[in-house]
Amino acid sequence: MSHQLVKVLKFGGSSVGSEASLQRVVHIIQGETAACRPVVVVSALSGVTNLLVDLVESSDPESIVGQLAKRHIDMADSVLDQRRKYTYLRHLESILEELRAACTPKNRADRADFILACGELMSAPLVAGLLTQVGVVAQAIDARTLVRTESGFVDREQTRNLIQSWFANLSRFVVPIVTGFVASNEHGETTILGRGGSDYTASLFAEGVGAAKLDRWTDVDGLYTADPNRVKGAGKFLFLLLEDASTWNESSALGMHVEAFQPVLEACIPVHVRSTRFPQGDGTLILPRFLPHRIEKDARAQLAHAGHHTTIAPNRESYSAH
């Protein structure tokens, strides 16, 4: 078996929120399959989680469910062929049915987490269907079977073990499309990781599958000192230390889920923040202070495979000799 680098690719809501953007995502994943073994994590279509938040409180749930149905059916209409659309719509219908049952006045307080989780449960099979249609063997994965929470927090050890054994048994020819944000507790009930939680999911999967890198694809080409759309002269970070990014993020400076960097930080996995609108851009590379030997070996093998024999970093022996 040839050596294959595993990479986690995470796509946020705006990346999967329009037909044009979805096509760019497919193109990116297709390109990656040539060079590595991707594990994909997706958010809900943009705006969908906000609608679901409204749904939990709404006095007119049917109108919101109708909007959600239309949004996904329209998207399926525009990107899927007849056969995939048929499969996807059947899946969509079963989720919408469960959603309707969950948002009755009697049930919805207890089932709020399930209601919020539906965005990702509806997006992952759509992305998987589209990829399969263009010849990538893709499979939607419901992360509720792999991410375990207890009393509102992720049980990191159980989650790591679940992801590891799932991945060990997954055919390397299958590209998994994992639902971000969603989890389940020890009673088998659906739970969620908190807003922006797909980044945390991606980080947990990067750790669990032993990824050499996590590419976080969004609609801004990197991390900035302030919101570039609002603050004139905001500067872009080309590089950040993972340790710094994690600390800043914990004090909400980077606006990601508060625990998003924990798993990748502990596993020393580089993160690359990139834009689906401008994939040729540099983005922001977030590097651990030290590259663990495992990742360095992967990178060397990858370069050797591509015919490069340049030294990419001082090797450990010569490094420690100084």
Residue from 88, 114, 166, 181 in contact with ligand ASP (CB under 6 A): 181
Let me know how long the chain is.
322
Q: Is 275 in the site for ligand ASP (CB under 6 A)?
A: no
- State which residue, 61 or 196, has the beta carbon closest to ligand ASP: 196
* Site for Mg ion, rule CB under 5 A: 13, 43
By the rule CB under 6 A, 14 interacts with ligand ASP:
no
Q: Give the integer Cα–Cα distance in Å for 70 and 88.
A: 13
Q: Which of Mg ion, ligand ASP, none binds 119 (CB below 5-8 Å, type-dependent)?
A: ligand ASP
Which lies closer to ligand ASP via its Cβ, residue 54 or residue 81? 54
Q: Which does 262 bind (CB under 5 to 8 A by kind): ligand ASP, Mg ion, none?
A: none
- Measured CA to CA, the distance from residue 197 to residue 193 in angstroms comes to 5
Cα 69 to Cα 65: distance, rounded to the nearest angstrom: 6
User: Phi first, then psi: what are they for 38, rounded to 5°?
Assistant: -85, 145
CA distances, 232 to each of 229, 236, 256, 273 (Å): 8, 12, 21, 21
CB 118, min distance to ligand ASP, A: 10
Task: Please give the structure tokens belonging to residue 141.
Answer: 């994965």
Q: With binding defined as CB under 6 A, does residue 45 bind ligand ASP?
A: no
Count of other CB atoms within 10 angstroms of residue 235 = 10
Judged by beta carbon distances under 5 to 8 A according to partner kind, the member of Mg ion, ligand ASP, none in contact with residue 197 is: ligand ASP
Instruction: Return phi, psi of residue 46, to 5°.
Output: -55, 135
Q: Least distance in Å: CB of 17 to Mg ion?
A: 9
Q: Residue 195 touches which of ligand ASP, Mg ion, none (CB < 5 to 8 A by kind)?
A: ligand ASP
